[in-house]
Amino acid sequence: MNSYVTGATIKSLRETKTLTQAELAQQLGVSDKAVSKWETGKGLPDISLLQPLAAALGVSLIELMNGEAVVNRNVSGNLMRSKFYVCPICGNVLHATGDALISCCGITLPPLEAEEPDAEHKLTMEKVEDEQFFTVCHPMTKQHYISFLAYVTSDRLQLVKLYPEGEAQTRFQLRGRGFVYFYCNKHGLFKQKI
């Protein structure tokens, strides 16, 4: 990820909006030579211009800084395309149903890649009345724990936040086929089909 907007990003976004350098410069109240310098890497926009620049180019400030525009074609919000994000600083759990730029505690978070559970992260299920009781056989210490369990179907998301020194278990009301996700703070995201 770029830590500051690049000339290639500005040029690409400007051309996508079919703006000339002069038109962009006029919107920002700078000279077209300033825009040319930014695009050729001979200068950078002042930090006070970043928000107006992002607005003129039709992207968010995070997209401008990241160097990519997010195009979310998942208009219907299909939960089966769920993406989870966990902040390594505060432990915040975030969810999206399509492409997104997620930021927490000042850092951009990548979507977590789910893996099949291994022997150290075994998920067990037990039917209890009209629910399923899920348990992850895993230590729950302050240094190594399961952060959350989530059950996702095409139209529902049930998420339970877990805490260190608690139990790595919960109940979900099953409604059709789906996936159970759980996140280990040391080994990442796991996913099992139900």
Q: Please report the pLDDT score of residue 191 as a whole number.
A: 95
Residue 97: its pLDDT value, please? Answer: 85
Instruction: Give pLDDT, residue 159.
Output: 95
- Identify the pLDDT of residue 141: 93
Give the model's pLDDT for residue 147: 94
Report the pLDDT value the prediction gives residue 146, as an integer from 0 to 100. 94
Separation between Cα atoms, residue 18 and residue 20, nearest integer Å: 7
- The counts of H helices and E strands in the chain are 5, 11
Q: Per residue in 85-101, pLDDT tens?
A: 999 989 899 999 877 88
User: 3-state SS of the chain: helix, strand, coil percent to 5?
Assistant: 25, 30, 45
**Spans in the chain with pLDDT lower than 70:** 1-4, 68-78
C-alpha distances out from residue 150 to 22, 31, 122, 192, Å: 50, 52, 15, 11
The set of long-range contacts for 129-134, using a CB threshold of 8 Å and a minimum separation of 24, is 130/173, 131/171, 131/172, 131/173, 131/174, 132/171, 132/172, 132/173, 132/174, 132/194, 133/169, 133/170, 133/171, 134/169, 134/170, 134/171, 134/172, 134/180
Give pLDDT, residue 86: 93
Measured distance CA(167)–CA(162) in Å, rounded: 8
Supply the pLDDT for residue 148: 95
